[in-house]
Homo-oligomer: A and B are copies of this chain.
């Protein structure tokens, strides 16, 4: 069992506001599963590069995919990588400027990306990527051909060195600011889906899938 209070490694230890740190897999997995995309950091020519991409969690691994020609894919395969996932939950408005903050849930993961070679595993990972967008989508869309599977590089990063950081709740103001006539509280933020926009060449009579809640 992971101890929710103990970082798995020194580099995965949350430094700032350690009271917001969570090291348990349940918290980490829930954040990874809810987020639709992540930011991948790697070192290229000795310098840092950050690129957004989509991810999916399968058991104890975070999976990334891309074209074999991608700089990101080539730079991280077999090399150290850091992946961050952030969900913004609200603006925290305090009575003092200094105590303004945000409510959020984030995960920072460290590891080395390894290639997933087995075609059956790659196909299963592609199913997860697809159903993460809209549950059940895999059963509606045309599944990948062997060539499409072969032309996708799938990478796996073990979820071993990870930390979550979570801020919830109201602002924390200094005692001497509580008497001010300034509104204080939280403005919740949420990613919401709008009305589906059919493709211009969609044949008539095909209903849209259930949209993510």
Of A48, A51, A141, A192, the most chain B CB neighbours within 10 A belong to: A48
A93 to B183, CA, bound (A): 42
Which residues of chain B come closer than 8 Å to A206, judged between CB atoms?
Answer: 181-183
A36 part of interface (Cβ distance < 8 Å): yes
Cβ contact within 8 Å between A39 and B37: no
Cβ contact within 8 Å between A142 and B50: no
A3 part of interface (Cβ distance < 8 Å): no
Contact partner of A50 among B39, B104, B203, CB < 8 A?
A: B39
Which residues of chain B come closer than 8 Å to A122, judged between CB atoms?
Answer: none
Interface hits, A30-85 → B, CB 8 Å: 36-37, 39-52, 54, 66-67, 69-71, 80-84
Cβ contact within 8 Å between B43 and A50: no
Cβ contact within 8 Å between A191 and B188: no
Which residues of chain B come closer than 8 Å to A54, judged between CB atoms?
Answer: 102
A134 part of interface (Cβ distance < 8 Å): yes
A159 to chain B, nearest CB (A): 15
Question: A132-160: contact bitstring with B at CB < 8 Å (1 yes, 0 no)?
Answer: 01100110111111001000100000000
Which residues of chain B come closer than 8 Å to A96, judged between CB atoms?
Answer: 141-142, 144
Q: Can you give 13 A-B contacts (C-beta < 8 A)?
A: A15-B70, A16-B69, A40-B50, A42-B48, A51-B84, A93-B134, A96-B141, A97-B143, A142-B177, A183-B196, A183-B202, A184-B202, A188-B194
10 pairs of A and B residues whose beta carbons are closest in the complex: A41-B50, A41-B41, A188-B194, A39-B39, A41-B48, A50-B84, A184-B199, A96-B142, A170-B199, A52-B86
